[in-house]
Copies of this chain bind each other. A is one copy, B any other.
């Protein structure tokens, strides 16, 4: 706050729109986006989403990572709600969750909507 010689503060610092993201909401959303922020997980998700069901043994080959690494990434994708796993016999079958992906896209659309 200097003197209002030419009101620079008015240009620089208007009151913010109060409906910005809550810190809690931001943490929640960021955790899901962070799950997509890894190339290996994106490729895993693309494989799973392109089929009805995929078992982990289908992933190690194309991805080219060790079994613990694949297990680590599928667990992260599942924690983010992007895939769900079902243990059937010796194999774990993964399915994509389209609703969660659609939710992410909708969130981005909401972000870009001005709220004058």
Contact = CB atoms under 8 A, between A and B. Distances in A.
A35 B20 CA distance: 18
Nearest to A37: B34
Interface string A102-113: 101110110111
A17 interface: yes
Complex copy number for this chain: 2
Interface in A8-39: 12-14, 16-17, 19-21, 23, 26-27, 29-31, 33-39
Interface of A: 1-2, 12-14, 16-17, 19-21, 23, 26-27, 29-31, 33-43, 45-47, 49-52, 55, 57-58, 61-62, 88-89, 91, 96, 98, 101-102, 104-106, 108-109, 111-115
